Structures are given as C-alpha cells and as structure tokens.
Amino acid sequence: MCDILHLEWTATLKTPPRPILACSGCGISKPFRSSGRIRLNANGKRLDAWLIYKCIDCDGTWNRPVFERQAIRAIDPALLEAMQASAPDAVSRIEFDLQALKARASRIEESDDIDIRKKVLRCDTDWRRIAITLALPHPAGQRLDRLLSAELPLSRSRLQVLFEAGEIRVTPERKDALKRGMRDGTQITLDLRDEAERLVIGRAAMGG
C-alpha cells in the first residue's frame, strides 16, 4: 500500500554512562567520567587493558578493565593499534558499552541527553501511516514512551491510550513495549484515526 511516511530516527547519547564509585579522595561515592585514555600493560605474551576514569570532583582515578591476560596474538592488530593510540572511536565503543560497565560497577549514572537525527526514507503523497525505525549507535536505557513524548506532541498517557487502542504498534511486540528501553531496530507504527492529529504528529516526526 502506498500510504506510508517512513522515517529513521538515529538516537545518539551525548554523554556516556558513568559508574558511581567510592572515591578515596572525596571520602564518598561519586560519579567517575572517562578520561578518554586507554592504558595497556604487557605481561610476557599477554596483555591487560584498562580505560582510565576520573572522579568528577577530584583527581581520584579508577581503571576499568577492558580485557585481562589476553594473548597478544589473539588481538586484532587494528584494534591493538587503536587502543595504543587511545583512538576516539575505540574509546567511544568502550565508554558506551553499558552491559560491560554493569559487570564492573553496581551503580551507574545514565544520561537522558540524546541527540535525534530524523531522516525521511519514504513519503507517499497520500500517507496515512507513520513508521519510525530507531537506529542506536550505542545502547540507551531511556524508555520508549519518554523518547516519543519528547519528540512528538503526545503525552505519555496519550501514547498509552493509542497503544492500547492499536493505533500505535511497536515491533518487536510486547505488552509493555512503551515502558521498555529503546532498542536498535525497533519500529513504531502510528496508524491514527484522527487526521488532524496524524498530520501534526507527522510534521513533528519529520522534524518540522
């Protein structure tokens, strides 16, 4: 059917998650931020790697293990070179790896500060449905209803009403889809009965 407005929203966290750790300098628990520097230490034919974090208020540091006792020959040469140079792309992949960070820190501060880039993939002349595909370069914990409410002229309660009425569908399907964290590849389809509301939401979805 030629009746769709299909958009891609690329959602990028502006601030990496930060571990909350006991700081010896401050004497209390504080968030630690990445210094952007990777430290390597060779032990024979094996290598340890850490990303260095610093307390937000003092010079206290924390070494976040990236890998330990890794055979040097098993490490991709390009990755090893990037880590030796603390290349921004390599550092960024580590900084935004929330699951790996959770394995090292029990408390984590996550940011809701997200940059959204909106791209029209398809716009039929007489579109009646709006499809939004999410692209997440890095995992983000923000709930889907919070994202949609921030970007569309819809309150979270209105989103829930439309979801329960079947006018909003989320793929993969779950009963609590709106309340779950955003995921790369998630598709939100809005098949709204009210034409005026549909047009307003469509303009907002495109960034207008």
- What residue numbers bound the domain in which 197 lies? 4-14+112-206
Q: Is 36 left (phi over 0), alpha (psi -120 to 50) or beta?
A: left
pLDDT tens per residue across span 62-111: 999 999 999 999 999 999 999 999 999 999 999 998 889 999 999 999 88
Q: What's the pTM? A: 0.76
> Is residue 77 exposed (0-12), middle (13-18) or buried (19+ Cβ within 10 Å)?
exposed
Tokens representing residue 97 in the block? 């790896």
22, 94: one domain: yes
Chain segment 17-44, per-residue pLDDT in tens: 999 999 999 999 999 999 999 999 998 8
Q: Residue 77, SS3?
A: helix
54 and 135 both lie in a single domain: no
Residues 191 and 156 in one domain: yes
First to last CA, the chain: 25
Residue where one domain finishes, among candidates 51, 83, 109? 109
Looking up residue 193, the CATH number of its domain turns out to be 3.10.290.10
